[in-house]
A and B are shown apart, each in its own frame.
Chain A
Amino acid sequence: MGLVMLVLAAPLLQVLLVNRSPWGGPDLVALAVVWLAVARGPVWGCAAGLAAGLAADVTPPADGTVGRAALALSVTGLLVGWWSGSRPLVAAGAGALLGPLLQSAAAVALGDEPWRAAVAGLPLTLAWMVGLGVAVGAVLARRHPAERVMRRV
């Protein structure tokens, strides 16, 4: 329940707080998806990616293609869930980078944004994401070591 709330509240926090920071900021939606994927595995990660991405797509002021972030983040959630079985730290860090990268790529591919605009804020976001993604992985690896071993077997 808490995790579902996290996924649905992430787009709101993103537009209310994070995006107004002048020093860039993390992509909270992608982080929430990575969290769920590492904690619960690929199926949950994929479902969370779809739900959170769809929410992010329709949260004003987003006006790109509906389903763009949903597609990018469901792929991210699935991959992170797969990788996290053996190495949660690496999986979380890589997934946190993959989320924003895939979203920007999708925005350019679908013609929603010119590529110069899409890459303009990307380096700062990626710097935030790699740090916070590894932190998420570390927290979860410490919290659920037993679950992870069971799932891997």
Chain B
Amino acid sequence: MRRTFVLLLLGTAVLLVVTDRWLLPLTSLRAAGAAVYGAAEGAAGTVTRSFGGDGRLRELELENAALRAELLSTGARSVSAPPRGVSASRGVAAYVVGFGRGQRVTVDAGSGSGVVRDVTVLNADGLVGKVTWAGAGTASVSLITDAASSVGVRMAGSGELGVVTGLPGEGLLRLSLFDPDAPLRAGDQVETLGSAGGRPYVAGVPVGAVTTIERVPGAATRTALVRPAARLSALGLVTVIVPEPER
């Protein structure tokens, strides 16, 4: 009897993994978890912040987020006109309320506020990451320091193109410039190149500054370590750049 029950439990766990991984993703289960635990995380965040006495700041923060998004979208437009079919975007202010193992956080804005997956998350200092999953009231954000993250970037001064990837466990990023002879110095600023349609990354967001240049003789790319502009270990208020619904 006990043996049957234990086997049933283990079988359930295996079935869950097999179903979600290979048969069909258990989205409803995840949405239910996000609804219950996400709501609890959001509530806990609200309570913690109310002790700080910044209730009135919320409006100003929302306005700041909107202005920041507007600034970004106008800045991008002055460099190159946005491709056709891409609507304007707006900023949604959100607080980081939950921290996952590895480089993932939860923010307290979800599909109710228009947040969808694969959109940019930034804060006042620079790029934070992108939304990987949006629940009803919360969204999961993968930080740029995640090992699976890779962001197309441009050097602020020289305009050289490259890619920035996360280094697990160190809080740093690795920059690879496509031109192995590109000029590169410590302190150079790195900013996002921007993706088509601004998803997942919008253009012109500061990513960080070069700290150490790695010299690998004969390498096909120029590599360096980059310290993120945003303090990713102490995140508070962030802005999610969400696409404006078509009108």
Question: Do A and B form a real pair?
Answer: yes
> Interface residues, chain A, CB within 8 Å of chain B?
11-12, 15-16, 19-20, 22, 42-43, 46-47, 50, 53-55, 57-63, 65-68, 70-71, 74-75, 78, 110, 113-114, 116-117, 120-121
Contact assessment for B13 and A58 in the assembled complex, using a CB-CB cutoff below 8 Å = no
Q: Tell me, rounded to whole Å, the shortest Cβ–Cβ distance linking A55 to chain B.
A: 7
Q: Which residues of A contact B97 (CB under 8 A)?
A: 16
Contact assessment for B20 and A66 in the assembled complex, using a CB-CB cutoff below 8 Å = yes
Bound CA–CA A50/B40 (angstroms): 21
- Given A46-B10, A58-B29, A63-B132, is A15 in contact with B106 using a C-beta cutoff of 8 Å? yes
Bound CA–CA A53/B33 (angstroms): 12
Bound CA–CA A108/B9 (angstroms): 23
Q: Which residues of A contact B102 (CB under 8 A)?
A: 113, 117, 120-121
Bound CA–CA A65/B26 (angstroms): 9
> Interface residues, chain B, CB within 8 Å of chain A?
2, 5-6, 9-10, 12-17, 19-21, 25-26, 29-30, 32-34, 37-38, 40-41, 44, 97-106, 132-133, 135, 138-142, 146-148, 168-170, 233
Contact assessment for A67 and B16 in the assembled complex, using a CB-CB cutoff below 8 Å = yes
Q: Which of A19, A46, A50, A60 contacts B33 (CB 8 A)?
A: A60
Listed by A's residue number, 5 A-B pairs whose Cβ atoms lie within 8 Å are A61-B133, A66-B20, A71-B16, A114-B147, A116-B147
Q: Which of B37, B41, B132, B147 contacts A55 (CB 8 A)?
A: B37
Contact assessment for B9 and A50 in the assembled complex, using a CB-CB cutoff below 8 Å = yes
Bound CA–CA A61/B103 (angstroms): 10
- Which residue of B is nearest A57, CB measured? B33
Bound CA–CA A59/B223 (angstroms): 36
Contact assessment for A75 and B10 in the assembled complex, using a CB-CB cutoff below 8 Å = yes
- Given A58-B32, A78-B6, is A19 in contact with B100 using a C-beta cutoff of 8 Å? yes
- Given A58-B33, A60-B138, A67-B20, is A46 in contact with B40 using a C-beta cutoff of 8 Å? no
Bound CA–CA A74/B8 (angstroms): 11
Bound CA–CA A109/B208 (angstroms): 33
Q: Which residues of A contact B135 (CB under 8 A)?
A: 60
Contact assessment for A110 and B21 in the assembled complex, using a CB-CB cutoff below 8 Å = yes
Q: Which residues of A contact B104 (CB under 8 A)?
A: 61-63
Q: Tell me, rounded to whole Å, the shortest Cβ–Cβ distance linking A30 to chain B.
A: 11
Contact assessment for A66 and B10 in the assembled complex, using a CB-CB cutoff below 8 Å = no
Contact assessment for A63 and B16 in the assembled complex, using a CB-CB cutoff below 8 Å = no
Contact assessment for A61 and B33 in the assembled complex, using a CB-CB cutoff below 8 Å = no
Q: Which residues of B contact A12 (CB under 8 A)?
A: 37, 40-41, 44
Contact assessment for A117 and B146 in the assembled complex, using a CB-CB cutoff below 8 Å = yes
- Given A16-B44, A120-B168, is A74 in contact with B99 using a C-beta cutoff of 8 Å? no
Bound CA–CA A128/B132 (angstroms): 30
Q: Which residues of B contact A66 (CB under 8 A)?
A: 16-17, 20, 25-26, 29-30
Bound CA–CA A15/B10 (angstroms): 26
Bound CA–CA A47/B102 (angstroms): 26
Q: Which residues of A contact B133 (CB under 8 A)?
A: 60-61, 63
Bound CA–CA A22/B169 (angstroms): 11
Contact assessment for B169 and A121 in the assembled complex, using a CB-CB cutoff below 8 Å = yes
Q: Tell me, rounded to whole Å, the shortest Cβ–Cβ distance linking A69 to chain B.
A: 9
Q: Tell me, rounded to whole Å, the shortest Cβ–Cβ distance linking B142 to chain A.
A: 8
Q: Tell me, rounded to whole Å, the shortest Cβ–Cβ distance linking B14 to chain A.
A: 6
Q: Which residues of B contact A59 (CB under 8 A)?
A: 33, 37, 98
- Given A67-B13, A117-B102, A117-B146, is A61 in contact with B140 using a C-beta cutoff of 8 Å? yes
Contact assessment for B105 and A65 in the assembled complex, using a CB-CB cutoff below 8 Å = no
Q: Tell me, rounded to whole Å, the shortest Cβ–Cβ distance linking B153 to chain A.
A: 21
